[in-house]
Amino acid sequence: MTAREIPYKIYLDESEIPTAWYNVRADMKNKPAPLLNPGTHQPMTAQELSAVFCEDLVAQELDNDTRLFPIPQEIQDFYRMYRPSPLVRAYCLEKKLQTPAHIYYKFEGNNTSGSHKLNSAIAQAYYAKKQGLKGVTTETGAGQWGTALSMACAYLGLDCKVFMVKVSYEQKPFRREVMRTYGASVTPSPSETTQVGRKILAEHPGTTGSLGCAISEAVEVAVGTPGYRYVLGSVLNQVLLHQSVIGVEAKTALDKYGVKPDVIIGCAGGGSNLGGLISPFMGEKLRGEADYRIVAVEPASCPSLTRGVYAYDFCDTGMVCPLAKMYTLGSDFIPAPNHAGGLRYHGMSPILSQLYDDGLMEAVSVPQTRVFEAAELFARTEGILPAPESSHAICAAIDEALKCKESGEEKTILFGLTGTGYFDMVAYEKFHDGRMDDYVPTDEELAQFRARLPKID
C-alpha cells in the first residue's frame, strides 16, 4: 500500500475504460490447440467456422498473434452504460476476518444481466449486426448469459433466440421473464423444435436438459436459419478476448495506487471470467515482467481442471460443434442434481487449459456448502449478495486471507466477483434450510465419462 489512501471503491474515469481488448494468446509460447472438424479431425478453417459464427468473431477466434484488438466505438459506447466497474477494497471483510491481507475484488455485477457476461454479449451482438444478420441463437444455463445477450440484442435491434436448460427454465421463471422484457424468445431445452432435441427427448424421456444439449439445439437453429449465427458466452478464445476488459480495467485501477497483487483468484466454469480477469497479469508473467500466483476455483461437483483430463472432446451433447482440446470431464458429464450454483460445463477454455497444463496457474475445488457459507459471510460484511458462481472465488479468497492471518503475511489478494445472486434464492433457501449436500463424483463415475472421450491422434 502506498501513502495515498485507498478508497473503498476505485472507479476509473470513463476516459480510462479500455479502448482495446488484450489477446493473451499473443504472449503464450504454447498456443491453445486449434478447434478440430468433428468429421475429419483436421483444424477448422475460417470458412468452416463461418457457417456457425460471425466472420469477425471467427477472425478473433483464430488469431493467436495480434496482441491488441481495438474495441469498436459502438461497443465502447455500450460499455459506458455500465462500465467502468468498481474495483473494491474489501475493508469490511478484512476487518471481519482480522487478516493482515489486503483484499480487492473486481465487481462485475452492477448491471441488469447481473454478471460479467455482458462484456462479450455486446461484442458478439455488435459483430452479428455489422455482418447484416437478422439474429443470433444461444443457450443459457443459470440464465446470466441469456440475459446479457438479450440486453445486447435489444440495444442493437437484433433478434435473439435462447435455448434455456429445462430445469433452469422451470426453476427460474424470473430469469426467463427478464429475457422476455428484453424481447428475446426463450425455449426450454431439450425441445421438440429441433432434430437434436427430438433425438435427445426420445433417448432420455423426461430429461431436464443440460448445457451441452442446449448448445446443440442452438447451433442447429443457427446453421439452419438464413441470417442467423450462433454465439457462445464462455470457453471460446474470442470470449476470453472480450472479457480481457475486466482484467485491463482492474490492472489500471491497481496501478493507479501502486498496488501489485500477490494472488489472483477467479471462479472457473467455462473460464470466461477468470480468463478475462487474469489476462494482463498473465501477459506480464508470460513475458517475464512480473510474477503472480493465479488460482482457478471450481466446484467439487464439476471439477474439470482438478480431476479432468487434457484431451480433445466434444463441446456439446449432440456432437455438432467442433472438437476442442481442453481439460474435460467428458461431454456427457452432468453435475449431480443437487449442485446449486452455475459452473456446470464439462470442459474448460482451451486457453486456460493450456496455461494450466504449462504450470502457469493453479486450480482448487471447493464443496458447495462452504461456498454458500462464504457467500453469506460476504453478503453480511460487504453488503453484496453474490452469485453462487462468484462465491467460489470468495471462498478461496477467504481461505488465502486466513492463511495470511496465521502466518502474519500482508499479502494482496485480488479476486473476481462476477455477479449477483438475486435469481439464485432457491439455492440460498436450500442452504438456509440445511437441504444442501456436497455430493462429489467418485473416481469410478468420472472414469466412465472419460472412457467415452473421442479418440484423436
Amino acid at 106: K
In this chain, which stretch among 106-114, 213-221, 270-278, 449-457 interacts with a second copy, using CB under 8 A? 106-114
Strand runs (DSSP E) across 268-392, as ranges? 293-299, 309-314, 323-328, 362-366
Residue with cell 487478516: 99
- For a second copy, which is the closer residue by CB, 76 or 225? 76
Q: Collect all residues with Cβ–Cβ distance below 8 Å to 172 and sequence separation of at least 6.
A: 142, 143, 423, 426
The least distance separating a second copy from the CB of residue 424, rounded to whole angstroms, comes to 9
Residue 263 C-beta: closest distance to a second copy, Å: 23
Q: Is 361 in the site for a second copy (CB under 8 A)?
A: no
Grouping H, G, I as helix, E, B as strand and the rest as coil, residue 95 is helix
Cell numbers at residue 131, please?
455482418
Looking at 52, 385, 393, 404, which residue binds a second copy (CB under 8 A)? 385
The only residue of 230, 423, 440, 450 in contact with a second copy, by rule CB under 8 A: 423
**What SS3 class is residue 308?**
coil
3-state secondary structure of 36: strand
Among residues 422, 435, 447, 456, the one that binds a second copy under rule CB under 8 A = 422
Interface region with a second copy, contact rule CB under 8 A, candidates 62-70, 272-280, 290-298, 418-426: 418-426
Pick 41 or 180: Cβ nearer a second copy = 180
Which of 41, 134, 180, 452 touches a second copy (CB under 8 A)?
A: 180
| Residue 35 DSSP code | P
Cα dihedral 419→420→424→425 (10° resolution): 160
Could you say whether residue 73 binds a second copy (CB under 8 A)? Answer: no
The reply on whether position 439 binds a second copy by CB under 8 A is no
Is residue 65 near a second copy by the rule CB under 8 A?
no
CB 272 within 8 A of CB 116: yes
By the rule CB under 8 A, 456 interacts with a second copy: no
Draw the binding track, 289-328, toward a second copy (x: CB under 8 A; -: no contact). ----------------------------------------
Rounded to a whole number of angstroms, the minimum distance from the CB of residue 349 to a second copy is 27
Residues 86, 64: Cα–Cα separation, whole Å: 30
Contacts with 220 (C-beta within 8 Å, 6 or more apart), sequence order: 194, 195, 196, 318, 320
Rank residues 275 and 386 by Cβ distance to a second copy and give the closer one: 386
**Minimum separation from the CB atom of position 9 to a second copy (A):** 7
CA–CA distance, 82 with 75 (Å, rounded to integer): 12
Q: Among 92, 336, 402, 453, which residue sits at the site for a second copy (rule: CB under 8 A)?
A: 92
- For 406, the 3-state DSSP assignment is helix
Helix, strand, coil percentages for the chain (3-state, nearest 5):
45, 20, 40
Task: Report if residue 383 touches a second copy, rule: CB under 8 A.
Answer: yes
Instruction: Look up residue 344 and give its DSSP letter.
Output: -
Cell 446453421 belongs to which residue? 223
C-alpha 62, offset from chain centre:
19
Interaction of residue 156 with a second copy, rule CB under 8 A: no
Using DSSP bridges, classify how beta strands 293-299 and 362-366 pair: parallel, antiparallel or unpaired: parallel
Q: How far is the CB of 149 from a second copy (least distance, A)?
A: 13
Q: Give the residue, chosen from 425, 445, 452, 456, that forms a contact with a second copy under the rule CB under 8 A.
A: 425
Please work out the total of residues on this chain that contact a second copy, with binding judged by CB under 8 A: 41
Q: Does residue 43 interact with a second copy by CB under 8 A?
A: no
Cβ burial of 92 (10 Å; 0-12, 13-18, 19+) is middle
Q: Under the criterion CB under 8 A, does residue 112 sit at the interface with a second copy?
A: yes
Out of 309, 379, 402, 453, point to the residue binding a second copy (CB under 8 A).
379
Q: Which of 124, 137, 129 is nearest to 186 (CA)?
A: 137
**Cell 439452419 identifies what position?**
224
* Chosen residue from 51, 81, 290, 447 binding a second copy by CB under 8 A: 81
Q: Which of 1, 20, 134, 380 contacts a second copy by CB under 8 A?
A: 380
Residues near a second copy (CB under 8 A) are 7-9, 11, 13-14, 80-82, 92, 110-112, 114, 151, 154-155, 173-174, 177-178, 180-183, 376, 379-385, 420, 422-423, 425-426, 428-429, 432
